[in-house]
A and B are shown apart, each in its own frame.
Chain A
Amino acid sequence: NAGVTQTPKFQVLKTGQSMTLQCAQDMNHEYMSWYRQDPGMGLRLIHYSVGAGITDQGEVPNGYNVSRSTTEDFPLRLLSAAPSQTSVYFCASRGHEGYTFGSGTRLTVV
């Protein structure tokens, strides 16, 4: 049982590039979400999904897109990377025993 799997673990992008952060869970959880963690800012919610085909914005959605075509996968797309998006990104899913977080993606935009 792998839980929540995020890829890649590390990524360096140039300003203006686009990329997709992958997130997959094998626990059949309906609810999934993306957070970013920045020093002094804590964890902030970017987007979330309550099931396949349903997504909604969180606290800091600008510059990010999501889709949920299957229960298992919830990718996060950066449309045009900016230095302000340098952060650690966490994907999470929620089941009956609360949230499980992935191991994170450390993204640097130069």
Chain B
Amino acid sequence: GIQVEQSPPDLILQEGANSTLRCNFSDSVNNLQWFHQNPWGQLINLFYIPSGTKQNGRLSATTVATERYSLLYISSSQTTDSGVYFCAVPESTDSWGKLQFGAGTQVVVTP
């Protein structure tokens, strides 16, 4: 099946700093999502981004499908950005039966 690798595994930021999270995938995909799991365990959909660039406030994401990677940018980080960030792709291009998640990037933003 498709492999999803995220880097870095852990990230400690001071409030106000910028950062980039990366997601590499081993096969062609026609869909990709970024999620934020907050410290209370909720999984929040950040971006649905099969290709191109999207922005939502201080967050933006870029997917280069032909090169099999996606990037999530956090600018001017805040303590509320803490949590785990997952990227996820369909297990196969012809099925939405299962999302394959990366292992996540644990982000801690300190005041």
The residues of A with any CB-CB pair to B shorter than 8 Å are: 31, 42-43, 45, 48, 56, 58-59, 88, 90, 94, 97-101, 103-104, 106
- Interface of A (DSSP majority class): strand
* B17-72 residues at the A interface, CB under 8 angstroms: 31, 33, 35, 41-45, 48
The residues of B with any CB-CB pair to A shorter than 8 Å are: 31, 33, 35, 41-45, 48, 88, 96-99, 101, 103-104
If A98-B48, A104-B42 are given as contacts, then 12 extra A-B residue pairs at C-beta distance below 8 Å, sorted by A number, are A31-B96, A42-B103, A45-B99, A48-B97, A56-B97, A58-B97, A98-B31, A98-B33, A99-B45, A100-B45, A104-B41, A106-B41
Please give, as numbers and ranges, the residues of chain A lying within 8 Å of B97 by CB-CB distance: 45, 48, 56, 58
- Interface of B (DSSP majority class): strand
A45 engages B33 (CB within 8 Å): no
Set B33, B42, B101: member contacting A103, Cβ < 8 A: B42
Please give, as numbers and ranges, the residues of chain A lying within 8 Å of B44 by CB-CB distance: 101
Nearest CB in chain A: distance from B54 CB, A: 11
